[in-house]
Structure 1
Amino acid sequence: MHTDDIIEAVGGMSWFQILIVVFIFGPKILTAWGMLMMSFAGTTPDWWCVPTTASSVDETYFRNNETFKLCPTSDNITCQIVFSQDKSTIVSQWDLTCDEKMLNPLVTSIQMGGVFVGAFVGGQFADVIGRKWTYYVCLVLQGGFNLVAAFSVNWQMFAALRFLIGVMIGSLQVVSYPYFMEFLGRKWRPLASSIPIWVTGVCIFALSIWLRPDWSHQHIIVAALHLPFFAGWFFVPESLRWLAVKGRTEDAEKVVDQMSRYNKREKPANTLLLLKQVAEEEKKLRASGSKYTYLDIYRPWSMCWKSLIIQFVWAGMSLVYYGISFGAGRLSGNLYLNIFLLAVVEVPTSVLTFFTNNKFGRKWTAVAFFGIAAAGAFGVAVITKTVSEDEQGTIINVLALLTKLGVGAAWCAHGVLASETYPTVIRNLGYGAASTAARLGGTIAPYVFAMGGDDLVVPFVIVGSIMTACGVLTVVLKDTNGQPMADTMKGQENTWDDAMMAATPMVTEKTKF
């Protein structure tokens, strides 16, 4: 609570926080670009199996529907696969069709496996060596791996590099959110989820692949865009809260000085005393043998059940969010436009969640949007079975966008809820575990959306069921709206009964902005 008081005194949202937005949240544009790269690089261009006896390959063969996506068999073994020249993806680069078509979702799953590993180790490193070092090391490596990936000589090399890129993405996602939020005042914390930087990254990515539809060139472009953000190392300080609980009170006071100078606010006279109180409280806990690991987010039971619910919900959100994103190529219409629309549809709801998080609470905001996502998903299943194939394309696209809108907004609310649930000493561990669980969902997402072939009923029934379950489980969690973020484990012994009481909506005083 002491660090909350200090931050409020020197400015909970002003010029200093804008600097943090630029250099800590700004690179999320590149992280989104890297995460969604396979939504383009993994698509299959139109292709034909052209007889090898043909004297030349020209547009005449492209218009021959008899050989369109016809895999070689014992009867036509002499044909060669020719791809449309409108885009260059890893499928056309290494001929990942027919017997090797499952290598495409495999590469995507390998990348998401890397994100899983990154989420796990990133949270641990951020709590041990600090937010700043972990963040910038991962940012440099992410840019380097993207550059090397552009020159992959086979799919195996590319898959290995996508795994390493995934590790960096997972680590950056885990670190950047709590890192940024630990500098914000109490009522401004929902801003961490509401700024549509991730969405902006996907929209720019869609524009980039439309202008330059080449998987190799896209990796070079995203690598080059990392350079301006490296300058943040010289301006962005270590987390004030992390320094305080580590006992580095003088360094923490220097961060307060920087914040007060940038925000043109007076530093509280008792700043050092308050920081020492936080450090002393944590020192007592450590003296009693407290060394924080991932096990601490599962003990005592009052913390364990919260962690398990958060992790299940995050796994479900990731499966749905990335499944729809990676499956953009299965929607009707233009690929680039679909990728853009699947991203831009989140902008209004991301902004909206800032206000609903404060007015109605993090929990009920998430529950409402889970309901919207479930309705959209079940709607796709119904339309697929009841409307003729010629008329269902646009309707399904709209319902898929509604599902993506719902899960994206719910994730915004849950991001704040999860971060505020854990105290500073295990915040990155708790957030990292939730993000790790999310990567499990993301890893299986490509296969869930590949089920049923061209039939969308099975995957979207699964999506609707998952969104319903996430909404029900979120009701059980205690809302953190308006509550101070704890710095130590002291005072975290909330009971199951308390949470169940909180699950019942009550008339409360309206939140004041």
Structure 2
Amino acid sequence: MNFEQLLVIAGGFGRFQKTLYVWICLPQILLAFHMMVSVFTSATPPHRCLSRADALQLQLANLSDPRATDHERSCRAKTAGNQSVSECEAGWAYSHDVFETTTVTEWDLVCDRASLNNIGSSIYMLGLLIGAVLFGAMADRFGRRFALLLSLALQTVFGVAAAFSPNFLVYVILRFFIGTTISGIIINAFVLGTEWTSTKRRMLAGIFTDYFFGFGYMLLAGMAYFIRDWRKLQVAISAPGFLFIFYIWVLPHSARWLLMNDRKEEAIVLLRRAAMVNGRPFPPTVQLDKGDVMQGQSQHSAADLFRTPEMRKRALILFYIWFVNVLVYYGLSLGVSDLGTDLYLTQFLFGLVEIPARSLVLLVLPCSRRLPLSIFLFIGGGACLLMLAIPADYPYIQTILAMTGKFGITASFAIIYIYSAELFPTVLRQTGIGVSSMFARIGGVLAPMINLLRQQNPVVPVLIFGSTPLLGAALALALPETANKPLPDTIQDAERFTSKKYDQDFPVDSNQSPSSTEGQELQCLTNKSP
């Protein structure tokens, strides 16, 4: 018997796996905290420039006036004679109507230093890219459990330490390390879950964990509403990570990884334990060989993604769509403070909209992959472009359009994981998803920098966030449909995937279908994170 057969015997998604998914889902709440907390901790409240001459006369009561954010009033100060403009020699006075303190008010990240805020966000996103490579390699060598436990511990330590940063540079460095741990948790939590789950349940179980990310998204808005000091809020979202210390005793190894690393006895012990928890009988003796799990795998590199015409087309389109999804997702999410509506309510609604988006994906995926992906990308981009037609005097309409765009991008984001795993053949699936994730992280790095362009021209970011998904929607139609079709194992299978002969050679219900190959969907949720 191979591993998949033993997993079915032990219970492909019984009590053991459901309990495991509880442990996997809980950290997703903290992931949402760390991913979105900068919306509040790095917010820029209305502020006024102070010169030495008029610092005492400036009426702070007027700071809530929206005009107080005009460049000439927030970055320049009139002299006593009111004849010329001087630099902010005495610093800035900030409104405390919404926030007690933020990183902006503490370190004066305004005017000529305003770009540092967005650069800090990009460095944080760069941490996610580095973390995906670092903790991915660590997991392959030392196991998913070790990498996940280490990521959780480091995230907690660096998260709490960030609240005590003495200056902005230290804060950015600590946020960078938090970003690396985010990727470590995302990768290894999903991989650990999918490696313990039977093929038929991986899609449902994987998307289910996203609901916890959305819940954390909404919960953060409530926490930030009651905690207006950025340092206290940073502690509040980080300290709960210490509770995960009990994971040392409850989180299992991946039996599949143990087998892949020639630790067969330990893998059998874990499978027998899973069967006992699931109430399933397990054979007393098992003939299981490492080669059974390795069957069908061969040495391939990222260069093989571009060697043949069909693979090259698929790879380039998927890389672009991954890039666009993350670019627009975080562009809209991190730009929520620019919409001009209640920040806390809008943040809550931005998290709430993810629930129906992912639920709709579960309904449409059994019918098609390509068409829903294109439609949702079109909705995301079209809603953003419609924002350009709405005057700034109607912030609530712009917010509704932004939420619609977020809805479309969130739905397409959920589809692209599964679709990519089905389009890349088995021999290149892990490599293809890994490279796709790298392009996605590049989009995350660029998103804050594009939002920075609002200072020069507020139209440019919206135009970028609207037009790039529309191109992705058109490109998605050039991809082959994979719903209810056998999955390719080799590059040759991928090249003739759309031919009638391929369907004849590998019917869906055939025992020799490539879709029955071990691990066909193993990586469908690897590196999953917005």
TM bucket normalised to smaller:
0.7 to 0.9
Distance 2:9 2:481 in 1: 25
**Aligned 8 A contact 1:174 1:431 in 2:** no
- The residue correspondences of 1:173-252 to structure 2 (distance < 5 A) are 173-191=186-204, 192-195=206-209, 196-252=211-267
**Cα drift, residue 307 of structure 1:** 4.0
Are 1:380 and 2:387 an aligned pair? Answer: yes
Q: Is 1:278 matched with 2:289? A: no
**In structure 1, what is the Cα distance between the partners aligned to 2:4 and 2:445?**
37
> Is residue 2:132 matched to residue 1:124?
no
Change (3 A) 1:355 1:60: closer
Q: SS of the residue aligned with 2:295?
A: helix
Which amino acid in 2 is paired with 1:82? A
Q: How far off is 1:378 after superposition?
A: 2.2
Structural mapping, 1:394-433, within 5 Å: 394-419=396-421, 429-433=431-435
- Which of 426, 436, 439 is the matching residue for 1:437? 439
Q: Report what 2:8 is aligned to.
A: 8
| Pair 1:228–1:365, CA change in 2 (3 A) | farther
Alignment of 1:102-113 (within 5 A): 102-113=115-126
Q: 2:422, 2:482 within 8 Å by CA — same for their partners in 1? A: yes
Q: Which amino acid is the alignment partner of residue 205 of structure 1?
A: L
**Could you tell me how far apart the structure 2 residues matched to 1:162 and 1:97 are?**
20
- Tell me the equivalent position of 1:266: 281
Give 2:514's aligned residue. none
Shift of 1:146: 0.6
Deviation per residue, 1:248-284 (Å, 9 max, x gap): 33222223222212222233678x43554524637x9
Structure 2 residue corresponding to 1:347, chosen from 355, 360, 364: 355
> When the two structures are superposed, what TM-score results if normalisation uses the length of structure 1?
0.85
What letter matches 1:445 in structure 2? A
Counting only pairs closer than 5 Å after superposition, residues 255-404 of structure 1 correspond to structure 2 as 255-267=270-282, 272-273=286-287, 276-279=290-293, 281=295, 285=298, 290=299, 305-357=313-365, 359-381=366-388, 383-384=389-390, 388-390=391-393, 392-404=394-406
**1: CA distance, partners of 2:313 / 2:261:** 27
Deviation (angstroms), 1:219: 1.9
Q: Does 1:19 align with 2:19?
A: yes
Q: Distance in 1 between matches of 2:138 and 2:370?
A: 29
Per-residue deviation at 1:346? 0.9
Structure 2: distance between partners of 1:424 and 1:243: 20
Of 307-316 and 414-423, the range deviating more from structure 2: 414-423
Name the aligned partner's letter for residue 326 of structure 2: S
Contact 2:64 2:95 in 1 (8 A): no
Deviations 1:323-354 (A, max 9, x none): 10110100121111111111111111212222
Deviations, residues 333-390 of structure 1 (Å, cap 9, x unaligned) = 1111111111111111212222322x21444432332122122122212x23xxx442
1:431–1:176: structure 2 CA closer, same or farther, 3 Å change rule?
farther
The offset of 1:475, in angstroms, is 3.6
Tell me what 2:522 maps to: none
- Identify if the C-alpha distance between structure 1 residues 263 and 309 changes in structure 2 by more than 3 Å, giving closer, same or farther: farther
Determine what percentage of the aligned residue pairs are the same residue.
28
Equivalent residue runs for 1:481-492 within 5 Å: 481=483, 491=490
Matched residue, 2:178? 165
Q: How far 1:478 moved relative to its partner?
A: 4.7
Preserved CA contact (<8 Å) 2:370 2:481: yes
Q: Which residue of 2 aligns with 1:114?
A: 127
Aligned position for 1:474: 476
Q: Quick one: which of 86, 97, 101 aligns to 2:114?
A: 101
Letter in 2 for 1:113: L
Q: CA deviation at 1:182?
A: 2.2
Q: Which moved more, 1:157-166 or 1:53-62?
A: 53-62
Indicate the RMSD between aligned Cα atoms, in angstroms: 3.3
Distance 1:365 1:342, change over 3 A: same
Give the partner amino acid of 2:177. L
* AA at the equivalent of 1:312: Y
- Residue by residue over 1:124-146, the C-alpha shift from the partner in whole angstroms, topping out at 9 and shown as x without a partner, is 22233322211111111111111
Change beyond 3 A, Cα 1:97–1:298 = same
Question: Unaligned regions of 5+ residues in structure 2, if any?
Answer: 78-83, 510-530
Does the aligned pair in 2 maintain the 1:477–1:499 contact within 8 Å? no
Q: Deviations over 1:147-181 (max 9, x none)?
A: 11111111111111111111111232233223222
Residue of structure 1 equivalent to 2:515: none
Q: How has the CA–CA distance of structure 1 residues 65 and 231 changed in structure 2, closer, same or farther, with 3 Å as cutoff? A: closer
Give a deviation string over 1:455-502, Cα, whole Å, max 9, x none: 55332222222212323333444555567889xxx6454233425889
How far apart are the structure 2 equivalents of 1:457 and 1:95?
26
Superposed displacement of residue 226, structure 1 = 0.9
CA, structure 1 residues 498+485, in 2 after alignment: closer, same or farther (shift >3 Å)?
closer
What TM-score do you get using the length of structure 2 for normalisation? 0.83
What's the counterpart of residue 49 of structure 2?
49
- Output the amino acid matched with 1:433: V
1:179-217 CA distances to partner (integer Å, 9 max, x unpaired)?
222222233222212441111111111111111022211
- Judge conservation of contact 2:425–2:494 (CA < 8 Å) in 1: no
The count of aligned residue pairs is 490
User: Unaligned stretches of 5+ in structure 1?
Assistant: none
Q: Aligned pair in 2 of structure 1 residues 244, 81: CA closer, same or farther (>3 Å)?
A: same
